[in-house]
Amino acid sequence: MTLEAKKAAAKEVYKAAKAKYMETMDKADWIAFCNAKRTCMLLGVRIQAEKMKRNIKIKAWFGDWKDATREHARRFWLTWSRGAQGLKEDEKAAVFEQKHLRGATVAELMKG
């Protein structure tokens, strides 16, 4: 197998591992994703970050607005919504969009 073929195979494994982790957010899938990324790095595969199609910004409780990729904003929403125990499920998205998210909606973030 040539180096280029190994790089192509490693990149496909990386993409599959990333997609699975982003869907499940499971620790085992995170480890598989990290291992796939490491393999790509060792082979010299260039992995480009997801380009921002829109200017999405997120804001934590004690910080300023920061630029974020769709993936980062989605992960922030999932973490935030798990911790927002005092809100009803139907209120969480509205509060998050009002106080912590600009440039997208929760529904757009959750779309695959």
pLDDT, average across residues 85-112:
85
Given this model, what pLDDT does residue 49 score? 63
The answer on pLDDT for 50 being more than 60 is no
The answer on pLDDT for 22 being more than 90 is no
Given this model, what pLDDT does residue 6 score? 92
Given this model, what pLDDT does residue 34 score? 92
Distances (CA, A) of 23 to 18, 19, 37, 106, 108: 9, 6, 17, 15, 15
Tell which wins on pLDDT, 29 or 61.
29
pLDDT band at residue 1, thresholds of 50, 70 and 90?
confident
Cα 71 to Cα 49: distance, rounded to the nearest angstrom? 10
pLDDT, average across residues 56-70:
87
Residue identified by tokens 């607005």 is 65
Question: For the residues of 19-82, what is the DSSP string, one character each?
Answer: HHHHHH--HHHHHHHHHHHHHHHHHT---PPPPPSS-EEE--TTS--EEE-HHHHHHHHHHHHH
Q: How many CA atoms lie within 13 A of 52 on its CB side?
A: 13
Token readout for 24 is 């499940």
Cα 75 to Cα 23: distance, rounded to the nearest angstrom? 10
pTM for the full predicted model: 0.51
User: DSSP state, 102?
Assistant: E
